[in-house]
């Protein structure tokens, strides 16, 4: 994936992601997952690291929020486990299939989305989306948010450490809420001041709203072939998903 031109890479992965969203069959989603794992493997991404990034939080969270769908009062269908007879509460086959499909779909979408930053430098990502027609102001805001969120997180950690170092006893719930509110207020003021300072610093250095790109990637035959392959693959899998193939 590192050898594919950034614009073609993003378009191809978005096409695969859309194909996963449109899939309704569990087998099709599993195939989409296998393709994502294969792309990660061929891109020399450590599989364990990739699996941790993809399957640790978001798919598990999706599985948890889809738990209510497995019950008959949300998804009626054939009972596979009766919990109560009166009132009738059970886990249905249709509900379980829907929950598994939903979780797999989320995991598949995350697996393709995460491939973009893992195989492309952030500057090349912004270059690609800029060339694809995204307004410069959106790219600027995204760049600033991406760069300064880590700085703000370090600022929050410093606030928490300094507060903890000055505490001689365990705080009660009310005191914790009061201090938490003060910390949120201080963080908001710090964020506002940092945004103002950053904007004025950009203006003093000649910023006019136009982004200057240092990359000039060229689309080659292999990039076109990869895009065509992605489109054909998604079409075939969707035809299989609909039972046409």
Q: Note every long-range contact of 191-196, with CB atoms under 8 Å and residues 24 or more positions apart, other chains counting.
A: 191/152, 194/148, 194/151, 194/152, 195/144
Q: Residue 81: which of 93, 73, 69 has the closest Cα? A: 93
The Cα angle at residue 202 between residues 5 and 211, in degrees rounded to 5: 25
* Non-local CB neighbours of 64 within 8 Å, separated by 6+ positions: none
- What's residue 232's pLDDT? 92
For residue 100, give the nearest of 19, 20, 25 by alpha carbon.
25
Residue with tokens 């929050």: 156
Per-residue pLDDT of the chain (245 residues; tens, 9 = 90+): 888 888 888 889 889 988 888 888 888 888 998 898 898 888 888 888 888 878 777 777 777 888 888 888 778 888 887 877 878 788 888 888 888 888 888 888 888 888 888 888 887 888 788 777 878 788 888 777 777 888 888 888 887 787 777 777 776 777 777 777 777 888 888 888 887 888 888 888 877 767 776 767 788 898 899 999 999 999 999 898 887 76
Which candidate, 113, 126, 96, places its Cα nearest to that of 213? 126
Half-sphere exposure for 42 (CA within 13 Å, toward CB): 10
CA-based nearest residue to 32, from 119, 120, 101: 101
**Whether this model's pTM surpasses 0.85:** no
What is the model's pLDDT at position 225? 92
């Amino acid at each position: 994936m590192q050898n594919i031109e950034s614009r073609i890479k993003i378009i191809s992965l978005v096409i695969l992601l859309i194909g996963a969203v449109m899939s309704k069959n569990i087998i099709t989603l599993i195939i989409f997952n296998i393709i994502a794992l294969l792309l990660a493997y061929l891109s020399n991404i450590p599989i364990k690291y990739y699996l941790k990034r993809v399957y640790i939080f978001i798919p598990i969270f999706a599985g948890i929020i889809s738990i209510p769908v497995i019950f008959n009062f949300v998804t009626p269908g054939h009972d596979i486990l009766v919990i109560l007879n009166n009132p009738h509460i059970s886990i249905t086959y249709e509900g379980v299939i829907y929950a598994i499909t939903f979780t797999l779909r989320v995991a598949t979408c995350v697996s393709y989305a995460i491939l973009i930053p893992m195989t492309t430098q952030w500057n090349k990502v912004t270059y690609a989306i800029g060339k694809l027609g995204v307004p410069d102001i959106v790219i600027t805001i995204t760049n600033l948010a991406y760069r300064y969120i880590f700085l703000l997180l370090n600022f929050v950690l410093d606030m928490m450490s300094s507060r903890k170092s000055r505490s001689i006893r365990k705080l009660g719930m009310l005191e914790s809420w009061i201090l938490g509110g003060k910390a949120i207020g201080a963080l908001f003021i710090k964020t506002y001041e940092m945004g103002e300072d950053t904007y004025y610093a950009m203006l003093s250095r000649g910023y006019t709203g136009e982004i200057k790109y240092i990359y000039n990637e060229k689309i080659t035959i292999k990039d076109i072939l990869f895009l065509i392959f992605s489109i054909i693959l998604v079409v075939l899998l969707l035809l299989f998903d609909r039972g046409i193939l």
